[in-house]
Structure 1
Amino acid sequence: MSTAAEIALVVVALGFVLSRQLSSRPLEEKSSFRVPLILAAVGLFSGGLIDRDHLAMSVTLLVAGLVVALGSGVVRALTVRVWRAEDGTLWRGGTAWTLAAWVSSVLLRVGLVVAGHVTGAASEGGGLLLFLGLTLVVQNALVVYRARTLVPAPAVQAVAV
């Protein structure tokens, strides 16, 4: 896949993810990981994560990108509201802080790409997909964990008249 196609895929995926993350919706544990894992796998197997001509810088930037992805996922997970509806279903909803955390995540990733270009270490689009997939896996795992720790809603008892 060409770098332009990978960047286009990241932009489309990010738009889809943001629209879903900023809306209130039921928490679907099973499907929370499907898209992020696919994105991470495509990023990992598309190659181009390491520039062999600038090995040390390339590996440093890849590791920094992974750390930023993990940290960003944790921070965003803490900004997502999680609650249990009266019927017992779990819900999630992004906040203004979630959007701010996303903007920060993207800016940090762009900074790493710029650092790669400045130092001559080529950066392929696969790194973008890996970053997006990994950060979403971490965020979703923590949101699901937080949801599981919520106290179940008390059972409604019928009142005899």
Structure 2
Amino acid sequence: MHSTNGGFALAVAIVGLVVLQQLRARPVRRIGSLVAPVIFAVLGVAGLAFGVLSVVKDRPLTMLPIALLVVSFVVATGFGAARARTVRVWRDPQGVVLRKGTAATTALWLTSVCAHIGLGLWIDHAAGTGLLGTASLYAYVAFGLGTQNLLLRGRAAATDG
């Protein structure tokens, strides 16, 4: 994610699309459910590289921002697990397993994004320079969405049918 308003707006739009997509009833797919987290992971690696470079150009990267970054990914994983429990999973009359997010899913997404903003600001403050926390949004989404989708795949496999 870039430090420009355009980069921030793009990130908000992408995360918004992810949330909206989750409110639609759609099939649970073995591979398809991992495509978005992998894309976010690739973007996340690029964002983290940008973030690290934005810090180390002015000063060494210390352990506190790194530890906070790890904490943020643990938080993202926790939110992903919580969201997975709020998604409806059922088998339609044709035997297709479907999923659909609920209002609670949306609330947890919004809370998760707010948590990332707070943690990101803390990471950037701890780093003293640069945009490591801000640039970690895509990696944060990859951890949370990946966890959510893996747990949903497990629930889908456990449905009667």
TM-score, normalising length: structure 1: 0.84
Partner of residue 23, structure 1: 24
Q: Distance between the aligned counterparts of 1:43 and 1:102, measured in 2? A: 18
Partner of residue 11, structure 1: 12
Shift in alpha-carbon separation, 1:64–1:7, aligned structure 2, 3 A: same
SS across alignment from 1:82: strand
Partner of residue 70, structure 1: 77
Q: CA RMSD in A?
A: 1.9
Partner of residue 102, structure 2: 95
Shift in alpha-carbon separation, 1:149–1:121, aligned structure 2, 3 A: farther
Partner of residue 2, structure 1: 2
Task: Kindly indicate whether residue 123 of structure 2 is the aligned counterpart of residue 122 of structure 1.
Answer: no
Deviation at 1:86, TM superposition (A): 1.2
Q: Distance between the aligned counterparts of 1:64 and 1:8, measured in 2? A: 25
**What is the identity, as a one-letter code, of the residue corresponding to 2:111?**
S
Shift in alpha-carbon separation, 1:49–1:67, aligned structure 2, 3 A: farther
8 Å Cα contact 1:39-1:132 kept in structure 2: yes
Q: Deviations over 1:105-126 (max 9, x none)?
A: 1111111012124332533343
Deviation at 1:43, TM superposition (A): 1.2
8 Å Cα contact 1:29-1:144 kept in structure 2: yes
Q: Distance between the aligned counterparts of 1:101 and 1:15, measured in 2? A: 13
**Structure ranking higher in helix proportion:** 2
**What is the identity, as a one-letter code, of the residue corresponding to 1:142?**
L
SS across alignment from 2:151: helix
Q: Deviations over 1:91-138 (max 9, x none)?
A: 001111101111111111111012124332533343111111221111
SS across alignment from 2:50: coil
Partner of residue 157, structure 1: none
**What is the identity, as a one-letter code, of the residue corresponding to 1:32?**
S
Q: Distance between the aligned counterparts of 2:91 and 2:139, measured in 1? A: 32
Task: Kindly indicate whether residue 31 of structure 2 is the aligned counterpart of residue 35 of structure 1.
Answer: no
Percent identity of equivalent pairs: 34
* Structure 1: gaps of 5 or more residues: 153-161
Bigger radius of gyration, 1 or 2?
1
**What is the identity, as a one-letter code, of the residue corresponding to 2:87?**
V
SS across alignment from 2:99: strand
TM-score, normalising length: structure 2: 0.84
8 Å Cα contact 2:27-2:96 kept in structure 1: yes
Aligned residues: 152
**What is the identity, as a one-letter code, of the residue corresponding to 2:137?**
L
SS across alignment from 1:88: coil
Shift in alpha-carbon separation, 1:121–1:64, aligned structure 2, 3 A: farther
